[in-house]
Amino acid sequence: MGEVVLAVDIGGTKTAAALADRHDTLLRTEVATTPAAEGPTAVVATVVALAERLLSGTGLRLSGVGIGAAGVVDAGSGTIVSATDTFADWPGTPLAALVRAGLGAHLITDAPVRVQNDVDAHAAGEYRHGAAAGAASALIVAVGTGVGAGLILGDDAVRGAHHVAGEIAHLPVPGAAHLRCPCGRPGHLEAIGSGIGMHRHFLSLGGDPGITDARGIAAESVAGDPIARRAIGESAAAVGRAIAGAATILDPERIVVTGGVPNIGEDWWRPMRDAFHAEAIDALQSTPILPGTLGDDAPLRGAAASVWRNP
């Protein structure tokens, strides 16, 4: 196999790990439940166990490790700056150092261990190998349980002075004032645009309380429920408006939208695009807005890339 790196995607419910080659091609992948509530030691132990399963019988040592992790991450030091309550004791965790210590002799001497935000890793994957490949700049927006974005200009991921660049979740959007964002403030994009936000909006409109998530709302919309249809449309429009606002500041060559919620299909994409085109000034109207192409491989391929290129 030659040189291999370990790529890791630490999400709130599951952790995926893969061996990848020089071209960020995934050679083998393993998945485990993330023990998020048990604290950093348990999460690191999961990463190490996945690595040992992947390496078992290969005789290989790792040339580096790239990790995408939930939360605000200081990519320079590989430390978690802040995170939601899903991860116990996560803020302040020196994740790169802990993973390095845990992997020990599985690493070659001086192997880099890099950590970045999981959406940034996803963005790097789509930028290098997916829907944004070949573009000089791209804004990649992930809409799922939450909402996040990564911005890449040239070969550089934009992280910001406080490691927050791309946190589109907390842009104020019209139509969300009645909903509270996970950050505690009302009216932010994530409060209406995420899957959870869409569901809360659906309930606020008087939707059937027996429907428990965005997937259920999508099925209800297909079945002809006008409240479900409206909830999807207004949730998607909030995403489109926020992307137009972000595009006005950043002017990316390409915009990629990915994650579970866009899988609803045209009932989501149409109002999202319509809202973008209603808000964006003329010069931005032709900016391509494309679906992601790599799915769950995106954060792993982006994490793998960070080993070689320090995104």
Q: Which residues of the chain form contacts with Zn ion (CB under 5 A)?
A: 170, 181, 183, 188
Query: Which among 167, 132, 143, 149 has a CA at the least distance from the CA of 290?
Result: 132
Is the dihedral angle over the CA atoms 27, 32, 37, 43 positive or is it negative?
A: negative
Kindly list the distances between the CA atom of residue 280 and the CA atoms of 239, 242, 249, 286, in Å, as whole numbers in the listed order: 13, 10, 11, 10
Q: How many CB atoms lie within 10 A of CB 245?
A: 18
Q: Shortest Cβ distance from residue 178 to Zn ion (Å)?
A: 14
H/E/C letters for each residue in 98-115? HHHHHHHHHECCCCCEEE
141: amino acid identity, one letter: V
Token reading at 69 = 């992790």
Strands 62-69 and 113-117, bridge-based pairing: parallel
Residue 111's region, left for phi above 0, alpha for psi from -120 to 50, else beta, is: beta
Angle at 135 between CA 134 and CA 139, to 5 degrees: 135
Nearer CB in complex with Zn ion: 197/311: 197
Q: Shortest Cβ distance from residue 170 to Zn ion (Å)?
A: 4
Nearer CB in complex with Zn ion: 6/73: 73
Nearer CB in complex with Zn ion: 40/71: 71
Nearer CB in complex with Zn ion: 163/254: 163
Q: Which residues face 65 on adjacent strands?
A: 6, 113
Q: Shortest Cβ distance from residue 188 to Zn ion (Å)?
A: 3
Q: Shortest Cβ distance from residue 62 to Zn ion (Å)?
A: 37
What is the rounded CA–CA span in Å between residue 125 and residue 302? 4
Q: Shortest Cβ distance from residue 50 to Zn ion (Å)?
A: 32
Nearer CB in complex with Zn ion: 135/242: 242
Nearer CB in complex with Zn ion: 121/179: 179
Q: Shortest Cβ distance from residue 108 to Zn ion (Å)?
A: 41
Nearer CB in complex with Zn ion: 66/187: 187
CA-based max dimension of the chain: 60
Q: Shortest Cβ distance from residue 182 to Zn ion (Å)?
A: 6
Token reading at 29 = 């992948």
